[in-house]
Copies of this chain bind each other. A is one copy, B any other.
Amino acid sequence: MEKESPEKAKKRKIDDDGDGDKAREESESFNGFKVKAVINENARQKYLFLHCTKNDEDAVVLLEKTPFDSSMTDQILSDNTKIRQTLQNDIYHTYSALLPENLNGVKATVICPASEKHIKKYTEQESFVIQETAELYTKVTLPYLEKHAFSTKWVYNILEKKKEADRIVFENADPDTGFILLPDMKWDGKDLNSLYLQAIVHKHGLKSVRDLNKSHLPLLNNILEEGADVINQEYGIPKSKLRIYIHYQPSYYHLHVHFNHINLESPGFDADRAHLLVDVIENIEMNDSYYQDKTLVYRVREQDELYKLYQDEGYFVDFPINTSISSNSSLTAAS
Contacts and interface: CB of A to CB of B under 8 A. Distances in A.
Interface of A: 10, 13-14, 16-20, 23-24, 26-31, 33, 35, 38, 41-48, 50, 52, 61, 63, 65-68, 70, 73-74, 76-79, 81-99, 101, 104-114, 127-131, 166-170, 182-183, 189-193, 232, 234-243, 245, 262-263, 265, 269-276, 278-279, 282, 286-287, 290, 293-295, 297, 299, 316, 319-321, 323, 325, 327-335
A295 B316 contact: no
Contact of A234 (B263, B330, B331): B331
Nearest to A265: B44
Contacts of A320: 232, 236, 238
A70 B42 CA distance: 10
Contacts of A43: 67
A38 B73 CA distance: 8
Given A46-B65, A166-B335, 17 more contacts: A13-B92, A17-B88, A28-B84, A31-B79, A35-B74, A52-B77, A63-B76, A65-B104, A91-B112, A92-B111, A96-B107, A97-B108, A130-B240, A170-B334, A190-B332, A238-B316, A240-B319
Given A46-B65, A70-B41, A83-B30, A105 B98 contact: yes
Given A79-B29, A193-B325, A128 B240 contact: yes
Contacts of A91: 111-114
Contacts of A232: 319-320
Contact of A106 (B41, B99, B286, B319): B99
Contacts of A13: 89-90, 92
Contacts of A275: 271
A323 B89 CA distance: 42
